Amino acid sequence: GETAGICPITACHKGLVNGPCGGTNNGKCEVDKEKDCAWTLIYERLKAQKRLDLMRKYQPPHNFQASPRPRTLRIS
């Protein structure tokens, strides 16, 4: 795939789909400094696959408001 098999929505704490936020430090996430930046991992994998051209492809932002949600949760 375009992100080398790494899902940026689930792997990135911010769910960014068009590259890193700019807060990475030595390849680590700015939100969780113990976690590797998803976009650094994507970059490294695409580089190894000689497919870095895919990093230039724009992905429209995901509309999370369109996702279904439970309307009511009742606990009895």
Chain segment 41-57, per-residue pLDDT in tens: 999 999 999 999 998 88
| DSSP secondary structure letters along 21-40 | -S--BTTB-SS-TTSBPHHH
- The pTM (predicted TM-score) of the whole model is 0.77
Residue 73: C-alpha distances to residues 23, 24, 45 (Å): 37, 38, 41
List, for residues 1-56, the tens digit of each pLDDT value: 899 999 998 999 998 988 889 999 999 999 999 999 999 999 999 999 999 999 88
